[in-house]
Structure 1
Amino acid sequence: MTGAIVLQGTESLTQDEAGAVLSRLDALVRWAQAQQAKILHRMETVFRDDLLEDIGREDPGLTFSLAAEEAAAILCLPANTAKMLMSDAGQLCSTHTATLAGLEAGTLSYAHVQTVLDQSQNVPEAELAGFEKDLLAVAAAGQTPSQFRVKARRMREQAYPETISVRHKTAFERRRVCLAPDEDGMSWLSALLPAARAQLIYTQLTTAARGEQAAGDPRRVDELRADILADLLDGGDCGSREGGHAAADDPAAVVAGDDTHENPTMDTKARARTEILVLITAETLFGADEQPAELHSYGHISPETARRLARQAAHWTPVERHPDTEEILRVGRRRKVPAGLQRWLRARDGTCRFPGCRTNAVIAEIDHTKPWSHGGTTDHDNLEHLCRRHHMFKTRGFWKARQHAPGIIEWTSPGGRTYRTDPHLTLATGGLQPAMPPPKGLPALKRVDAGGAGSGPDDYGDTPPPF
């Protein structure tokens, strides 16, 4: 790539000139997206050839995943987003070159491109080029992405009705439940379900909510739907009227709530055992102050909510700290990670520690940064959480990890690039030193207030189970 583009004098543009410049910039963005697709496809090809040379066999799924992870790290994108872009690039550079040409010429947006690729699934190979041409003719008629999506779907269903059942089966296999933290102590819980079943559930919730209103409940229908759903699932108060919260100080204890208690207002049928982690100071726990606590995998919650969760917990684990150094005893040379250290690491890491991965630490695996078989210790500064896929990448040597400082992981990619990941909670290193130094221990945990690699985990993100 050579040359440079400079945009000057924007403050003097007339309305017509601003519109013309905006149109040209849009065409430039589309051209760049086409070039990105070509490079992504090239990256996948290079990884496939290099892996074949290194290990002597071709594994398309593995090479694709490794190439996508490298692209994700370079572009600072979630892994699944990079996989989607690389998958699109593969189709654009092979079976949909006409669509790639339209994107490069600026006649198509990337949203139009994704619709073409999606609606081309399961179309007979011999007829694919003709169907693509028909779709592009409709897209070029000034359709917005949403308008084009509707027309393209109808075209495919009319021309290839037999693909409907195949697509529905494939879509059914993608059903899942997602958790996405929101602001002010709230989170979104959403489910991808078959349309008929989702509509039935929503109708039942609405009917129940209307019934509660008819009986005099002052809550809005939206509030009632949410509260009824939560009550049905957790058997207790859903916290619809919890108070707000502000920034918090250092957490001093981990409360592990094992949600198996019976609620006298609900049926006593067996429910799944679940665990949540709440970091709360002893002072807040016993009501001596009102500092907010932290809900693991979410962030700050109000002290009232934390105390309620603590009351409901079947057990809780204190993190004992030295009065001067805020340290607790280290585990030492044992291979198995004790339960207390597991909870401490879960709170520290928050998510899988691979670059860009947002898999919750609760469903990740604890890995020795320096392998146990090579002399690695079972200490906090040689352990980190990895999801199953990224654990495999590290174990097989495709990605290499080093923990130069406790909790700070430096990764080296197959392409030789290095990336750093920081823990969800930082490690406290200050404090007065006692006359006799204490045994080596686990530093106290402090919140990371800035964004970036140290920001709080969102959800299972782009790597939901199964991996």
Structure 2
Amino acid sequence: DAPNPARGCPAAELVPARLRAKVRGWRERRHPDSIEKRHRKGVADRRVEFTPDRDGMAWIAAYLPADTALAIWNRTTAIARGLQGPDEPRTLPQRKADVLANQLLTHRISTPEEDARTGIATAFTTEPGKVPTPRTEVLVTVPVFALLGLTDEPAVLDGYGPIPASMARKLLAGGAESFHRVLVDPRDGTPLEIWRTSYRLTKAMKNALQLRDGRCTFPGCNNNSLDNETDHLKAWQYGGTTGMSNLAQLCPKHHHLKHNSRWTPTPATKNEPPGWTSPTGRHYQAEPPD
């Protein structure tokens, strides 16, 4: 039996991508070899690969530690979104590809010896063989005993899944520019509601919502939290409150769908995202983060 059946979702109700994510999380927590040991081997195997394709195109793939890869993805996405404008003809995927190529090809990456000779240090300079701790925005949930180094229980990197406790400690020690304090209800530890006093969320409340939902809450969608938009399940103008039980994350596509179709969310709670009901009446249960 599942150790947490109340928070589970039957496998038959999950789309393949969500089922794979659930299985991966289960594997990481129960693998006979610790995630720390497997991560060390994975880091030793890091690499970049080039694969020619048709029509004058090719693929570049990088096998990297999850925190580094996710930070690159988030930063590339943020820069690409910043280029959006009325006169911008490129799609978001096209802008992402152009941003990545531009960053690699137009910035000189020097060595410490070159910097000593020229007296000019570039922003990319670091100790040979080491990569700077990511400083772009990432969200990581760390069990307190793992944070203190008392256990090796995996942490959860938003947009990815389970990561070694050592990676989480490295992110917090070397790359975290801020910690977000969340005011919680002392009875159950959930973020306090702000009800009808404000339409806009506080930064702490937005982060708590990202951690509760983990991704876009629409059935089968895996869109990263940092790309998503906050939605009042019951509209503010119709009496909806600004509280965790009336909020959910939606990617732009499914946010638009909610307001322009008969897909309807079912109530959320302080601890669980909403479920959804399709136009045909089929109900999809809430899927808590992995």
TM-score (norm 1): 0.36
Larger relative contact order (CA 8 Å, sep ≥ 6): 2
- Taking the aligned partners of 1:232 and 1:323, their CA distance within structure 2 comes to 36
- Taking the aligned partners of 2:235 and 2:209, their CA distance within structure 1 comes to 17
* Contact 2:213/2:248, CA 8 A, preserved across alignment: yes
* Contact 2:71/2:137, CA 8 A, preserved across alignment: no
Paired residues for 1:342-381 under 5 Å? 342-381=206-245
Q: Where does residue 278 of structure 1 map in the other structure? A: 140
RMSD: 4.5
- Taking the aligned partners of 2:159 and 2:148, their CA distance within structure 1 comes to 23
Q: Where does residue 248 of structure 1 map in the other structure? A: none
User: Aligned in 2, Cα 1:348/1:359: closer, same or farther, shift over 3 Å?
Assistant: same
Provide the aligned length of Structure 1 versus Structure 2: 201
**What 5-or-longer segments of structure 2 have no aligned partner?**
1-11, 18-23, 29-34, 73-109, 113-120, 126-131
Paired residues for 1:15-54 under 5 Å? none
Q: Which amino acid is 1:389 matched to? A: K
* Contact 1:364/1:387, CA 8 A, preserved across alignment: yes
Q: Which amino acid is 1:268 matched to? A: A
2:271 is the alignment partner of 1:409: no
Q: Where does residue 310 of structure 1 map in the other structure? A: 172
* Contact 1:77/1:356, CA 8 A, preserved across alignment: yes
Q: Where does residue 286 of structure 2 map in the other structure? A: 421
Q: Which amino acid is 1:267 matched to? A: T
Q: CA deviation at 1:397?
A: 3.6
Q: CA deviation at 1:342?
A: 1.1
* Contact 2:247/2:268, CA 8 A, preserved across alignment: no
User: Aligned in 2, Cα 1:408/1:284: closer, same or farther, shift over 3 Å?
Assistant: closer
What SS does the aligned partner of 1:300 have? strand
Q: Where does residue 122 of structure 2 map in the other structure? A: 267
Greater helix fraction, Structure 1 or Structure 2: 1
Q: CA deviation at 1:335?
A: 0.9
Q: Which amino acid is 2:193 matched to? A: R
Q: Which amino acid is 1:293 matched to? A: A
Q: CA deviation at 1:278?
A: 1.0
**What 5-or-longer segments of structure 1 have no aligned partner?**
1-73, 80-179, 203-224, 236-262, 425-455, 457-467
- Taking the aligned partners of 1:275 and 1:331, their CA distance within structure 2 comes to 25
2:257 is the alignment partner of 1:396: no
* Contact 2:158/2:224, CA 8 A, preserved across alignment: no
User: Aligned in 2, Cα 1:193/1:386: closer, same or farther, shift over 3 Å?
Assistant: farther
* Contact 1:78/1:357, CA 8 A, preserved across alignment: no
Q: Where does residue 198 of structure 1 map in the other structure? A: 58
TM-score (norm 2): 0.54
1:105-164 Cα deviation digits (max 9, x unpaired)? xxxxxxxxxxxxxxxxxxxxxxxxxxxxxxxxxxxxxxxxxxxxxxxxxxxxxxxxxxxx
